[in-house]
């Protein structure tokens, strides 16, 4: 049966079909692509923000130790150390010393944990005993490498290379801590990484400098290696004292932090004064 429709009726049917079937599908498609576009922009923005944070983390973790490295190296006015051996020592502290320290600290923790059931006591032992002993052992091993050992021809050289190895270690440590700080907030990260850039960096430099000084005396004066032990113990003591000030809330947490920062500034000043004094004697 054939149905004859007027031109107006045909237009009405076509319009109704479009409104009922085509237009809703077009709207769904537009919403879908709009959602996809928003997700794409969100992912792109998130990636861009993460990239900026990562670059900021690398810069703030490594730039202060590198600046301190140049500062310590240039404390010596006469017969300054070669840059190649300085950078090697820094890289040793930032890589091999860190890896070795992590392995040793992990092994010591695993061996002590079964006999110490209180996690708070175990934490204090790790921070005040294990970490200072292990880290002050792995950092100055850079001075035993051929590229550094052959440069030890003045007593102040051991102080310089020991400090540089400590600064390399502090750079990687800044990276690890900074990553955890960023997970909290950007402001939290900036505040704590700034504190570490003064306190922890200078602490690692000044503590390891004394072991380096002892090792330099051992090399130059051809004495027994046991002569290094008093300087090694001094480095451990300084490191442990710094960690203790940050761990024990004897009065106020802020007071402990300020005292720890002062300790770092005083010890690095002593190291630099010793370098200057020895440098003048050997001019």
pLDDT confidence bin for 267, thresholds 50/70/90: very high
pLDDT bucket at 2, cuts 50 / 70 / 90:
very low
Structure tokens at 166: 């400590």
Cβ(197)–Cβ(229) under 8 Å? no
Let me know: does 203 contact 238? Beta carbons within 8 Å: yes
pLDDT recorded at residue 19:
43
Domain boundaries, the chain: 17-59, 80-281
Q: Is the dihedral of CA 70, 71, 73, 79 positive or negative?
A: positive
Select from 273, 272, 255, 166 the least CA-distant residue to 211. 166
**Is there a contact between 251 and 261 (Cβ–Cβ < 8 Å)?**
no
| Among 159, 237, 240, 256, CA closest to 205 | 159
Indicate the average pLDDT of the chain: 83
The model's pLDDT over 82-120, given as tens digits with 9 standing for 90+, comes to 999 999 999 999 999 999 999 999 999 988 888 887 888
Cα–Cα distance list, 45 to 33, 41, 184 (Å): 18, 6, 19
Measured between alpha carbons, how far is 276 from 269 in angstroms, rounded to an integer? 11
In the chain, the DSSP E strands lie at: none
Predicted local distance difference test score (pLDDT) of residue 182: 78
CB 214 within 8 A of CB 277: no
CA proximity to 205, closest of 247, 242, 153: 242
Vertex 137: Cα angle to 135 and 143 (nearest 5) = 115
pLDDT digits (tens, 9 = 90+) for 136-189: 999 999 999 999 999 998 999 999 999 999 999 999 999 988 888 777 777 878
pTM for the whole structure: 0.81
Q: How far apart are CA 91 and CA 99, in angstroms?
A: 12
The count of other CB atoms within 10 Å of the CB of residue 95 is 13
């Amino acid at each position: 049966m054939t149905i004859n429709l007027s031109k107006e009726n045909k237009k009405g049917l076509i319009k109704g079909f479009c409104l009922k079937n085509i237009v809703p599908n077009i709207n769904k498609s537009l919403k879908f692509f709009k959602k996809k576009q928003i997700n794409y922009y969100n992912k792109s923005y998130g990636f861009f923000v993460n990239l900026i944070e990562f670059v900021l983390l690398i810069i703030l973790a490594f730039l202060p130790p590198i600046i301190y490295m140049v500062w310590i190296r240039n404390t010596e006015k006469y017969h300054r150390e070669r840059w190649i051996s300085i950078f090697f020592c820094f890289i040793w502290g930032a890589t091999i010393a860190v890896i070795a320290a992590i392995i040793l600290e992990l092994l010591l923790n695993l061996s002590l944990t079964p006999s110490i059931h209180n996690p708070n006591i175990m934490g204090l032992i790790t921070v005040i005993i294990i970490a200072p002993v292990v880290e002050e052992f792995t950092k100055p091993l850079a001075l035993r490498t051929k590229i550094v050992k052959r440069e030890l021809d003045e007593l102040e050289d051991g102080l310089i290379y020991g400090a540089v190895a400590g600064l390399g270690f502090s750079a990687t440590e800044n990276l690890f801590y900074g990553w955890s700080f960023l997970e909290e907030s950007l402001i939290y990260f900036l505040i704590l990484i700034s504190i570490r850039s003064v306190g922890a960096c200078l602490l690692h430099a000044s503590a390891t400098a004394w072991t380096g000084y002892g090792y330099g005396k051992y090399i130059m004066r051809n004495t027994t290696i046991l002569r290094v032990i008093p300087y090694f113990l001094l480095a451990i003591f300084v490191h442990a004292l710094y960690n203790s000030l940050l761990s024990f809330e004897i009065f106020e947490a802020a007071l402990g932090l300020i005292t720890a920062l002062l300790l770092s500034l005083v010890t690095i000043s002593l190291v630099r004064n010793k370098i200057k004094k020895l440098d003048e004697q050997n001019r």
